[in-house]
Chain A
Amino acid sequence: MKGVGIVLVSHSQEVAAGLKAFLRQVQPSVAVADAGGTETGELGTSTFRIKEAIESVYSEKGVLVLFDLGSARMSAEMALELMGEAAKKVKLADAPLVEGAYAAAVEAGCGSDLEKVRKTAEKTKQWRKLDG
C-alpha cells in the first residue's frame, strides 16, 4: 500500500538531497523526492523542479510539500497552480523543513492520510529543543 508522498524544497540542492537520505534511513517505506536548488543546480528554487518532484511521488493518497525560506513558498505555490486539478491532493506544510519532514515521514509511514501528515508536520513548529 502506498502512503502520502513527501517533497522537500530547499534553496540548496545538498540540503534537500541530504534530508532525503536522512528520511530514507528513518522511514524507508515513504516516497520522498527532493527539489533543491535551481534548474542549473545553483542556490534558489525552481517551480518546474518542484512540480516534477511532486509528480514523481504522486498517488491518490496525496503529497505533502515542505520548504525552507523566502522564494521557496512562491515557487511551490506556482508549481501547484501549474498542476491544475491534481493539485487538490497536494498540500504545503507551514513547518520547519528538517523537523517537519522528519515528523511527516514517520506519520506517513504509519499510513495516515494527508491531513494528518500535514498536521503532524506543522506541530513541529512548537517543538522545544532546550529545556524540553
Chain B
Amino acid sequence: MEIGYHAIVKWIEKASRKIQEERDYLSQLDQAIGDGDHGVNLARGFTEVDQKLKARTQPDIGALFQEIAMTLLAKVGGASGPLYSTAFLKMASRLKGKETVSLDDLAQALLEAVQGLKMRGKAEQGQKTLLDVWEPLALNLANRREDWSWEQFCHLAREQMEKTKALEAKKGRAAYLGPRSVGHLDPGAVSSYFLFEALAQIMMEEEEGR
C-alpha cells in the first residue's frame, strides 16, 4: 500500500481538528500532573499548522513534515514543542523528496522519530510519556504480519495511551509528584493517541475508497 501526499495532508488536518476539539480536555489532564497548558499549547501550534497546510503547493511529504516541525517548535511552548518538533523533523529527513510513501517507509520514519524522542527527552518507554504510545506503534507497524490492519493499530494506540494511567511519571513536571502521578493519564500520550487515531481513520477511509 502506498500513501500519497494528499492522504498525509488529510491525516494532519484530521489530527489538528481533533486536538483543537480536545483542547480543554488535554489541558485538564495536564492540570492534574503537569503545568496545565498542554491543550492550549498544542491547539495553538496546530491552528498555525492548518494555515501552513493551506499555503502549501509542493507535494513533498518530507518538506511538509519539516514545515510542521518548525511551526510546532515556534508556536508550542513547554516541553511538547521541542518533542513533537523533533519527531516530525526525524520523519522529515527520512521521507525527504517523497510524494508517496510505503508502509515500510512510514514505519522507518516512525522508528526514527522514536529515537529522536528518546534522545530529546532522555526518556525510555514506561516512564509515562508520549513514548509509551509512539514506540509500541512504530514497532507494531514495522513488524506487521499479514493479518495486520489499521483498525488493530488504532486499538493498540488507545490501549497504550490508557496504560499510562497506571504508570508513575519519571520525566517532566509530573515526575515531582512521584507516586501521586499514578491514576492520571499522561497528556502527551493522549495527544499522541489522537495523532495516531487520525492516521488510522484516514488510512481506513483511503482503503475503502479503493
Contact = CB atoms under 8 A, between A and B. Distances in A.
- On whether the two chains bind one another, the answer is yes
Interface of A: 38-39, 42-48, 70-71, 74-75, 77-78
Given A48-B74, A77-B82, 5 more contacts: A44-B78, A47-B85, A74-B79, A74-B83, A78-B120
Given A70-B172, A70-B173, A75 B74 contact: no
Contacts, number: 41
Contacts of A45: 77
Contact of A38 (B77, B82, B120): B77
- Point out which of A45, A48, A78 has the most chain B C-beta atoms below 10 A from its C-beta: A78
B82 A47 contact: yes
Contacts of B82: 47, 71, 74-75, 77-78
B92 interface: no
Given A44-B78, A47-B82, A74 B73 contact: no
A45 B74 CA distance: 10
Interface in B155-182: 172-173
18 contacts: A38-B77, A42-B77, A44-B41, A44-B77, A44-B78, A45-B77, A47-B73, A47-B82, A70-B79, A71-B77, A71-B79, A71-B82, A74-B79, A74-B120, A74-B121, A77-B82, A78-B73, A78-B85
Interface residues of B, number: 16
A39 B74 contact: yes
Nearest to B77: A44
Nearest to A43: B77
B172 A47 contact: no
B81 interface: yes
Contacts of B77: 38, 42-46, 71
A38 B73 CA distance: 11
A71 B81 contact: yes
Interface in B73-118: 73-74, 77-79, 81-83, 85-86
A47 B81 contact: yes
Contacts of A38: 77
A64 to B, nearest CB: 20
B86 to A, nearest CB: 7
A42 B79 CA distance: 14
B176 to A, nearest CB: 10
